[in-house]
Amino acid sequence: MEGKVFSVQGKELRSIELSDDVFGLPVNEDVIWYAINNELANARVGTADTKTRSDVHGSNRRPYAQKGTGRARQGDVKSPIYVGGGTVFGPHPRDYSYSINKKAKRLAMKSILSLKAQGSAMKVVEDFSVESGKTKDLASILSGLVPEGKAERTVVILKDDDSMVKRAGRNIPWLHFLSFNRLRAHDLFYGRTVIVMESAVKSLNEFYADK
C-alpha cells in the first residue's frame, strides 16, 4: 500500500511504500488484547503484602478463660476477628509477569500498525531532529503535525535512539517515543496520533516483514 510523507509543517511532500505485511493486515483484536495485558502484567510490581495472624505482634495468651464465661472461646488477640488482628487471605508479594509467543507479539504489533495506518491516526513525517534539546522547539514542530484538540497520547516512532528528541519531549506528558524495534502495544494502541519518521517506515517494513 502507499502512504503520504508530510513535512514538519504538515504539508504533503511525496509518497512512500508501506508494506502490506506490516501496515495492510486484517486487524486481529484477540492478539492485541493478549499483548497489551501481557505488558500490563509484566509492569506490575507485585509488592502488596498483608500480615497474617502469625505476623502480627501480640500476646499468645487467651484474652479470657475458655470455659465458664458463657462467651465464645478465643485463642489470642491476633485472631482475624479482632481489630488489629491478622488478615485472612490477604495479598502477598508475587511475580505477575509471564511471556507470550514471539510470533503472537509480532502479529499484535503489525495489527496495531495496520489499524493506525488504515485509519487516520498514523502520519508519516520527514525525518527531523531537535538539536537544541529544548521542549519549546519540539512543541513548535508538533503543533503542525498533531491535529488541534488531539494533543493527547501522541506517539512518535523513531528509527534511532535520538537522545536530543527524547530530551526535548521529556516535559510533554502526553508524548511518548518508541523505537521501531522496541514497540509497546499499550502505548501504540492507545495513541490517538501516531507520528512515524520516514526512515522508521523503511525499518519497520524490514523488521516486521514475514521471514
Q: What is the pLDDT of residues 77-95, one digit of tens each?
A: 999 999 999 999 999 999 9
pLDDT score, position 141? 87
**CA 122 – CA 112 distance, rounded (Å):** 11
pLDDT score, position 149? 57
pLDDT score, position 129? 86
pLDDT score, position 148? 63
pTM, entire model: 0.82
pLDDT (tens, 9 = 90+) of the chain, 211 residues, equals 888 888 888 888 888 989 999 999 999 999 999 999 999 999 999 999 999 999 999 999 999 999 999 999 999 999 999 999 999 999 999 999 999 999 999 999 999 999 999 888 899 999 888 888 899 999 888 888 886 655 678 999 998 888 889 999 998 999 999 999 999 999 999 998 999 999 999 999 999 887 5
Which residue's entry shows cell 481489630?
Answer: 83
Which residues are registered as beta bridge partners of 124?
5, 196
- Going by DSSP bridges, is the β-strand pair 12-17/2-6 parallel, antiparallel, or unpaired? antiparallel
- Comma-separated ranges of CATH 3.40.1370.10 domains in the chain: 2-29+100-207
Grid cell of 74 as nine digits:
478465643
**CA 157 – CA 195 distance, rounded (Å):** 6
Dihedrals phi, psi of 110, to nearest 5 degrees:
-70, -35
pLDDT score, position 151? 63
**CA 146 – CA 156 distance, rounded (Å):** 11
For the domain made up of 2-29+100-207, the CATH class stated in words is alpha beta
pLDDT score, position 194? 92
